[in-house]
């Protein structure tokens, strides 16, 4: 992208900055490390539940506006790897991890999650915690995009359990 702006971070400040720049006619790429921009960010220490709910009510319309703005390109599940160049002429390398789901056609109906046989155990949690290999990240329908994502880490349980070692 040439002559545009890069906003790193999909919190309320990043979304508002992207909207302000885009409304001025500048092409903006918004980069967020998590799989989605979310209205219900984890509450800060000392913040009440009511405060978090009010903040999510303020952010959701902005998320929807940013997602549909013609001058904003949102890259979720992405990170900035390298920045080089001189003042006013930067070259940025952004790496986006795949979702393995087409976010443009996913309706978040949940049927794929119901049919998925593979459970993923989060390493830092209890053995009973976890989710299906395909799941709606973070806060589901209160996120942009609200599409599902597939966790592909290691050998799938169905392949590991197959006596013939077939990648089913």
pLDDT in tens, 44-88: 444 544 555 666 677 788 888 999 999 999 999 999 999 998 887
DSSP strands (E only) in 2-107 = 5-8, 28-31, 37-38, 72-75, 78-86, 89-96
Average pLDDT over residues 10-15: 88
Q: Which two tokens stand for residue 159?
A: 């392949």
What percent of the chain has a predicted confidence (pLDDT) above 70?
Answer: 72
Instruction: Give 6's pLDDT tier (boundaries 50, 70, 90).
Output: very high
CA-closest candidate to residue 143, choices 79, 99, 96? 99
Higher-confidence position of 39 and 100? 100
165: which residues sit within 8 A by CB, 6+ positions away?
A: 159
Nearest to 62 by CA among 156, 135, 144: 144
Domain boundaries, the chain: 5-96, 111-161
Express each pLDDT in 92-106 by its tens digit.
999 999 888 888 888
State yes or no: cis peptide before 118, omega within 30 of 0: no
Q: Yes or no: is domain 5-96 CATH 3.40.630.30?
A: no
> For residue 43, how many other CB atoms are within 10 A of its CB?
14
pLDDT at 116: 85
Nearest to 75 by CA among 36, 19, 26: 36
Taking the model in full, what pTM does it have?
A: 0.74
| Strand partners for 150 | 134
Report residue 77: phi and psi, to 5°: 60, 40
Which of these, 134, 129, 82, lies nearest to 108 by C-alpha position?
A: 134
Is residue 143 within 8 A of residue 36, CB to CB? The reply is yes
Q: Which of 29-33, 51-55, 143-147 has the highest mean pLDDT?
A: 29-33
């Amino acid at each position: 992208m040439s002559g545009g702006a890069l906003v790193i971070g999909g919190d309320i400040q990043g979304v508002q900055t992207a909207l302000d720049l885009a409304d001025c006619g500048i092409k903006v790429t918004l980069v967020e490390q998590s799989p989605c921009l979310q209205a219900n960010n984890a509450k800060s220490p000392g913040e009440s539940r009511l405060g978090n709910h009010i903040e999510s009510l303020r952010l959701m319309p902005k998320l929807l506006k940013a997602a549909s703005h013609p001058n904003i390109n949102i890259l979720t599940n992405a990170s900035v790897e390298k920045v080089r160049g001189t003042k006013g002429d930067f070259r940025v390398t952004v790496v986006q991890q795949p979702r393995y789901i087409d976010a443009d056609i996913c309706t978040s109906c949940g049927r794929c999650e119901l049919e998925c046989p593979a459970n993923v155990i989060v390493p830092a949690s209890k053995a009973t915690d976890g989710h299906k290999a395909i799941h709606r990240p973070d806060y589901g329908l209160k996120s942009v995009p609200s599409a599902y994502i597939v966790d592909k880490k290691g050998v799938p349980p169905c392949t590991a359990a197959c006596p013939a070692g077939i990648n089913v």
